[in-house]
Structure 1
């Protein structure tokens, strides 16, 4: 059985080893990342791409910059569907809400939730 002092010494030794391993991990990650960056730069040069091409989603077309002077407020869209039980609504744009997806999975139809206009 080890003594308390021996266990403390072992704990300090393991802490030093852990710190050294963490330093090695960080060093290895930095080196790998630098290599990947070099590969990406080489491929971009080979194909004539720029950083703007990457952010636009379409090669050869730069991304549209958001206008900082745009003061037009976002327009609200009137809801097209309502859950009669909870009163929750959905405009029909974007992802279908969970309450509506669950209802449709359980045999109801989208038309049942349409708000009369």
Structure 2
């Protein structure tokens, strides 16, 4: 493999090389995943199944279920909270100011 003298290159050349390397890595990983998928499908077929039969619904449901927001900031409607996890700062500040969680509830 040819050795590249990176010290002699300017910033634009280095960024171009980095972009090319990133693309080559992504392409390599994509090919390896396709090869692994093809091998898994072949092994399933050899046993008389399809890959989707073996994986069931796990292969179909890749996305996470999103919980709808339950609370909304009174002044900035873009700020919402589902009521799960750590309380946002604007909820904490409102509670410290004497408000209750019910004051932030989204009306349904």
Q: TM-score range by the shorter chain?
A: 0.3 to 0.5
TM-score, normalised relative to structure 1: 0.39
Instruction: Say which structure, 1 or 2, has more relative contact order (CA 8 Å, 6+ apart).
Output: 2
TM-score, normalised relative to structure 2: 0.42
